[in-house]
Amino acid sequence: MIKKLQFRQAEAINIISIGSLALAGVTVLLLSYSLFILGKSHSIRELLIGLVVIALLICSLMLIRQSKVKMAGLLIVGIYLSVAIYIMTQWGVSTPIGIFLLAFVVLLSAACLGSTYILPISAAVIISIFVIQTLVEYNALKPNESLLITGTSFADISVYTLCLIIFAVIGWISRSNIERYVTELENAHDELKLKNKQINNELREEKRQLHKAHIEELDNLRRFAEIGEYTSSIMHDLSNEIMLLSSRVEQKAHTNLAEIRQDIQAIEKILSQANPNLLNHKSIEVSLDKTVQRAIDSLSHKSHILKTKISVRSTPINTRLGRTAYLEQAIKIIVNNSLDSYKEFLPKKNKIDITIEEKNDSIDISISDYGLGIPQQIKNGLFNIGNSGKRNGHGLGLYLAYRLIKQHYHGRVYLDKKSKQTRFVISIPKRSHEYYSTLA
């Protein structure tokens, strides 16, 4: 606000300087006409004074261009005060133009310089009047007062002084009130800026906290979803085991107690696996052949019942993964489906071949069986939920296996359509551990 007031003040001084320059220019032209055309030699002094005034006004404009507004204002006031004093020394203190210029000097100091300069300049104006009149009284100065009706006395000077004092006080009060008002506005503006900055900082911090809370909430939701997926896969295995146990109980006449106990132990093993630390995403080095073997061992009772041999062909392969439980679960789902294919179809030799193969950018685990195969009509939507080739299937197993591998290892599960057997491939990128390092 104060800067804006200073800018307005600079504009006022600039306008006054240009106007004064134009007026001085016209005066110099008239004096030049009087001197060179009319031949009045007494105009030489006034002409020189006019040229000096023009030079000083040009200097004031240059000071404004250099942002030296205060100096330019003082120069303008000094020019008008000097012209007024010169006029009074030549034609007397009571000369109207002289009195007018002195009053203008007081007002000009208020407009261009501010309340600080009004009283000192007004004092200088009054002192100038008294000094000139004193010199006139003692005949040290003899102005040409022929144009005046009467001469000037100290009574006239007192009236002029009173008028100038009134002008000065009014100007000082007005300018002081304006400056105080502007200062208060400036302080209020600074306070508002400070409060606005504080509010922005608070909003920024609140936004950061909300963003952090939002990220944490999303992370919790993602982890709950993982728990849900893992629980679904556990429930899928439980469903298979309970169905197998139910069928044994229904056929208890042909089933010994040891086999039922073996099924119950399998269910207990599945339940014991449902309590790992699901939220641990730390990337660790694991042996894939041991991971595959653990998945096979969990289905050993079922493979024994169906008299199915599960063979694994692999060289020792170590890689970095997050939790291996998801991979084990996906392998179990596919191997379990392969075992189920032998329930209704009994070839001469039941077997499931598992191969672990390391490629340039992935590790592929292929699971092959020689059962009935997959009906042609469901091959296209094989990994969709609800799509099952089993007589009493729910279409959940392959969907879960696909989701577990894709979401947790950035891998894929697919059916090898070129193979003569039913061959599923789990393909895990070697860089999948980098995904887990960002979650840890």
In the chain, where the domains are located: 2-199, 280-439
Percent of the chain whose predicted confidence (pLDDT) is above 90: 10
Question: Does residue 413 carry a pLDDT above 90?
Answer: yes
User: Which contiguous run of DSSP H or E holds residue 25?
Assistant: helix 2-32
pLDDT band for position 55 (cuts 50, 70, 90): very high
Q: 294 burial class (0-12, 13-18, 19+ CB within 10 angstroms)?
A: middle
Angle at 218 between CA 403 and CA 402, to 5 degrees: 0
| Tokens coding 120 | 């000192």
- CA gap 253, 259 in Å, rounded: 12
What pLDDT does 435 receive?
A: 43
Question: Does residue 368 carry a pLDDT above 90?
Answer: yes
What pLDDT does 366 receive?
A: 95
| Of residues 350, 270, 347, 357, the one with CA closest to residue 313 | 357
| Of 242 and 205, more confident | 205
Lowest pLDDT segment from 10-14, 54-58, 291-295? 10-14
Are the C-beta atoms of residues 75 and 63 closer than 8 Å to each other? yes
Q: Which CATH number fits domain 280-439: 3.30.565.10, 3.20.20.20, 3.40.50.20, 3.30.450.20?
A: 3.30.565.10
What pLDDT does 54 receive?
A: 92
Lowest pLDDT segment from 62-71, 122-131, 169-178, 190-199? 169-178
φ, ψ at 419 (rounded to 5°):
-75, 145
- CA gap 145, 90 in Å, rounded: 8
Are the C-beta atoms of residues 433 and 319 closer than 8 Å to each other? yes
Lowest pLDDT segment from 9-13, 161-165, 315-319? 315-319
Cβ neighbors of 293 (< 8 A, separation 6 or more) are 312
User: Which contiguous run of DSSP H or E holds residue 55?
Assistant: helix 43-65
Distance of CA 224 to the CA centre of its chain: 31
Largest CA distance in the chain: 154
pLDDT band for position 437 (cuts 50, 70, 90): very low
Give the CA distances from residue 163 to residues 27, 173, 177, in Å, rounded to whole numbers and listed in that order: 28, 15, 21
SS3 state of residue 352: strand
- The conformational region for residue 375 under phi > 0 = left, psi -120 to 50 = alpha, else beta, is beta
What pLDDT does 275 receive?
A: 44
What pLDDT does 249 receive?
A: 52
Give pLDDT tens digits for 242-260.
555 555 555 554 445 555 5
State the pairing for strand pair 351-358/412-415. Answer: unpaired
Question: Does residue 277 carry a pLDDT above 50?
Answer: no
pLDDT band for position 212 (cuts 50, 70, 90): confident
| Tokens coding 433 | 């551990």
| Tokens coding 2 | 């104060």
Most confident of 38-42, 101-105, 277-281, 375-379: 101-105
Angle at 113 between CA 107 and CA 114, to 5 degrees: 85
What pLDDT does 231 receive?
A: 64
SS3 state of residue 365: strand
| Tokens coding 136 | 């006139």
State the pairing for strand pair 362-369/412-415. Answer: unpaired
Give pLDDT tens digits for 280-324.
455 567 788 888 888 898 888 888 888 888 999 987 777 777 677
